[in-house]
Amino acid sequence: MNKVLTILQILKIYSNISEFTGVDRPIITTGTFDGVHFGHRKIIDRLTKIADSSNGESVILTFSPHPRMVLFPDDHGLQLINTIEEKIELLKNAGVQHLIIHPFTVDFSRMTSIQFVRDILVSQFKTHKLVIGYDHHFGRNREGSFEHLKEYSPLYGFEVEEIPVQLLDDVGVSSTKIRNALLSGKVDLANEYLGYQYPISGRVVKGKQIGRQIGFPTANIFVEDSTKLIPKEGVYSVDVLVNDIKYQAMMNIGQSPTVGAKSQRLEVHIFDFDQDIYEYTIKVFLKERIRDEVHFENLDFLKEQLQKDKNQILSR
């Protein structure tokens, strides 16, 4: 526990490249790191290991919004595995010392690879060593590559290391695979790829309170970040964190057709729980999808099914 607390205390966060100065022997990697999954952690583990062994400091440069959202503004289909807050927490736990979250803009995307190396990696960051994943590209039109970096690094006085393709292929994980698993309801597979249970955080808001009438009160969760990926509709086994205490629960993602809802809702029934948590922010950890959402003829049938769902979850 003390080690974890120390890691959490040493992460420094910068909201712009220009804020990052004065770090001794920075060991740097860059990328979107959506999900901070097993593949990402291969890169991050190597980054922190090099920093430790060379008396350097580990640095990640990432971007917000996601570059695809800026470069392809008419493509509204991209949803993200992590919110910025979730990404920060995951990178803290991975032992990263410095995190730069730079605003990604069209102007920034037009920077050439040599400008990125010369003006940012060298002049601004004073990079000691750059660690990148296999087939990493950067700069305008993704023109920069590992071969470019090997050419530039002796000229500008920094080292570069590429994580071998075999190491990343052995993991067999990508953010796209995880998104597809979540969108198809396979949260157990997504969790396996991620190395942690998929989280959704939100504020508890007032609902119709119909669940309370049938003995299954629910917390209706409002997710403020519209880019956060919501998995396939259905009923899920989940854990819920309220005031730093974890409870077993079940969550319905969907339209709640039995009660006539017309928009997607996230409703959580927390087992053995009777507290007023309206306006609280809670975190839900998805474990397993139990079934599809179903329209029931009346509330009695709904109550019967909810009891079956609860019994199924508690028996596992």
pLDDT tens digits, one per residue of 16-28: 999 998 799 999 9
Q: Which helix (DSSP H) or strand (DSSP E) does residue 175 occupy?
A: helix 175-183
63 membership: H or E segment, kind and range: strand 57-64
- How many angstroms separate the CA atoms of 44 and 60, rounded? 9
* Average pLDDT, integer, range 188-210: 93
pLDDT tens digits for range 220-249: 999 999 999 999 999 999 999 999 999 999
Q: 162 and 200, same structural domain?
A: no
For residue 296, the model assigns a pLDDT of: 85
pLDDT value for 5: 40
Please check whether residues 163 and 212 belong to one and the same domain: no
Q: Residue 142: exposed, middle, or buried by beta-carbon count in 10 A (0-12, 13-18, 19+)?
A: exposed
Tell whether the model's pLDDT for residue 212 goes beyond 90: no
CA distance 28 to 246: 36
- Rounded percentage of the chain residues whose pLDDT exceeds 70: 94
- 103: tokens are 């605003």
The answer to whether residues 167 and 204 belong to one domain is: no
Asked if residue 113 lies in contact with residue 140, where contact means CB atoms within 8 angstroms, the answer is yes
Largest CA distance in the chain: 74
Among 252, 241, 254, 233, smallest CA distance to 197 is for: 241
* Residues belonging to the chain: 316
pLDDT value at position 3? 42
Percent of the chain with pLDDT over 90: 75
- Please indicate, yes or no, if residue 64 is contained in any of the structural domains: yes
Q: What is the pLDDT of residue 150?
A: 92
Adjacent-strand bridge partners of 131: 161
Q: What angle do CA 198, 203, 207 make, to 5 degrees?
A: 110
Question: Which pLDDT band holds residue 164 (cuts at 50, 70, 90)?
Answer: confident
- Please tell me whether residue 57 adopts helix, strand or coil conformation: strand
Structural domain tally of the chain?
A: 2
Query: Across the strands, what pairs with 239?
Result: 248, 285
- Enclosing domain of residue 64: 2-173
Of the residues 104, 138, 173, which one is the last residue of a structural domain?
Answer: 173
The pLDDT value recorded for residue 295 is 85
Q: Identify whether 150 is part of a domain.
A: yes
CA distance 145 to 136: 6
Residue 305 lies in a domain: yes
Model pLDDT for residues 17-74, shown as the tens digit of each residue:
999 987 999 999 999 999 999 999 999 999 999 999 999 999 999 999 999 999 988 8
pLDDT at 259: 56
Q: Is the pLDDT of residue 161 over 90?
A: yes
pLDDT score of 166: 75
What is the spatial distance between Cα 265 and Cα 59, in angstroms, rounded to a whole number?
A: 38
Q: Return the CATH number at 99.
A: 3.40.50.620
Query: Does 125 lie in the same domain as 7?
Result: yes
Give residue 14's pLDDT.
Answer: 97
Tell me whether residue 72 is exposed, middle or buried, using C-beta atoms within 10 angstroms of its C-beta: 0 to 12, 13 to 18, 19 or more: exposed
Query: What is the rounded average pLDDT for all residues in the chain?
Result: 91
The candidate with the shortest Cα–Cα distance to 305, out of 239, 271, 258, 260, is 258
* Predicted model pTM: 0.89
Instruction: Tell me, yes or no, whether 183 lies in a domain.
Output: no
pLDDT value at 156 more than 50: yes
pLDDT digits (tens, 9 = 90+) for 258-297: 555 557 899 999 999 999 999 999 999 999 999 999 888 8
Compute the 3-state secondary structure of the chain and give helix, strand, coil in percent, each to the nearest 5. Answer: 40, 25, 35
Q: Is 156 in the same domain as 93?
A: yes
Q: What is the mean pLDDT of residues 128-133?
A: 94
DSSP state of 140: G
CB 56 within 8 A of CB 24: yes
Instruction: Look at residue 1 in the predicted model and tell me its pLDDT.
Output: 37
Do 119 and 253 belong to one domain?
no
Q: What is the mean pLDDT of residues 148-172?
A: 86
